[in-house]
Structure formats: C-alpha cells, structure tokens
C-alpha cells in the first residue's frame, strides 16, 4: 500500500499565502487538509475555488469540518473530529466523499472503523508545538491501534522526516504534518523531504 503524506493547514496563513504554499507542494503530497475553523463556509468555498483556479487538484483536497461544505466545494473528502458529524450518516448521505476521522484511543478507532470511516488520523504521537503540555500517546499506542483496525491509520503530531520510519514501522499507512510544512521557511523543500522519506520506505 502506498504510504500517504497528508498536509494540514495551520489556520495562520492568509488565503493567498495558503494557496501559494498549496500550489508549491501538491505534487509531493497525497492530500492537503483545509483546517480553517475560523473561516465561514462562504470563505472556505472561496478558498477552494482559489485553489482550483491555481491548478491544485481538488482530488487532493480534504476539508476538516462540514461534509456539506466539502461536497459543495467539490473536494475529495472530509475529516471529522471525534466530536463532529457521525461518520455513518456522512457515508450514507455523501458516499462519494472519502471520510477520515480523528481518534485518540483504540476504543475510538474501533468505533469509527465500525461506523464506516475510510481512514483514521491518530495522535499526537510525539511531542508537538500544537499540543503544548500534553503528553504524547507514543509509538506503542499507535502500534496497538494499527494491529486492531483494518483501515489505514495516518500518524499525526510531532512528525518530522527523521521519525517517519518509526511511525511506519509501527504500522501507520502515512503521516500528517502541519507546521512542519505550512510553517516551514521553504514549504516546497520541506514537503519534498517528507516525500523522500516515504518513498524510501516503499522501496
């Protein structure tokens, strides 16, 4: 199975900058998640239209949040929080969307898989600047989840090129990165570095 690179927006870039970064990295990544909870649905749709006009394939775009907005924007999928929409209902009403779910425990992972999730984001695996003061769940917890669920598990939280091999060895089917790419001085080079690490594992 191909190892996936998911890149998640940080909510800290303006629309033009986010589109510019997305355009520079999309050839190296599998999915770009729009996680812009401070933006209105109208702003999100405007952002998606801007990405489309910049020749960023919407087949690589996943919206964190609303399934109806994801469908209206023509993106490929939706990422649901553990307190968000019910995955079973989303799959029933919008079967064309790839549905991911954020999970933090084995019980959550099993429940989301049972209800029809296509993939899981699990974390945070390592210490992360976006989760200050919170103890990371670690590789053992990741390995436990990948051993019990059949759908792809994407590791998130403190993922750097240097530990990509560790999370894949623990059974992850890919990695998700926020500031490591969107917050990098050279996002394109950063995305390429992650891409190279994933390619090495696939060989």
Q: Ramachandran region of residue 92, left (φ > 0), alpha (ψ -120 to 50) or beta? A: alpha
Catalytic residue, chosen from 6, 26, 33, 124, is: 124
The single-letter DSSP state of residue 95 is T
Long-range CB contact pairs, 167-170, < 8 A, 24+ = 167/125, 167/139, 167/142, 168/3, 168/198, 168/201, 170/139, 170/142, 170/143, 170/146
Question: Is-contact 44 36, C-beta < 8 A?
Answer: yes
Is residue 124 part of the annotated active site? The answer reads yes
**Is there a contact between 63 and 74 (Cβ–Cβ < 8 Å)?**
no
- Going by C-alpha positions, the residue among 189, 160, 149, 154 that lies closest to residue 175 is 154
Hey, which residues are catalytic here?
A: 124
């Amino acid at each position: 199975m191909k190892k996936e690179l998911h890149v998640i927006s940080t909510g800290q870039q303006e629309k033009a900058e986010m589109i510019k970064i997305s355009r520079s990295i999309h050839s190296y990544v599998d999915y770009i998640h729009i996680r812009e909870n401070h933006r209105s649905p109208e702003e999100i749709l405007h952002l998606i239209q801007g990405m489309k006009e910049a020749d960023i394939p919407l087949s690589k775009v996943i919206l964190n949040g609303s399934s109806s907005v994801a469908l209206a924007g023509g993106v490929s999928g939706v990422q649901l929080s553990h307190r968000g929409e019910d995955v079973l209902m989303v799959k029933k009403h919008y079967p064309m969307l790839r549905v991911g779910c954020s999970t933090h425990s084995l019980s959550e992972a099993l429940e989301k898989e049972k209800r029809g999730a296509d993939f899981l984001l699990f974390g945070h695996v390592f210490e992360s600047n976006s989760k200050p003061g919170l103890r990371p769940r670690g590789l053992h917890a990741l390995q436990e989840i990948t051993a019990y669920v059949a759908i792809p598990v994407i590791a998130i939280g403190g993922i750097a090129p240097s530990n990509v091999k560790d999370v894949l060895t623990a059974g992850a089917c890919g990695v998700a990165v926020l500031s490591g790419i969107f917050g990098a001085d050279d996002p394109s080079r950063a995305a390429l570095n992650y891409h190279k690490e994933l390619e090495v594992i696939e060989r």
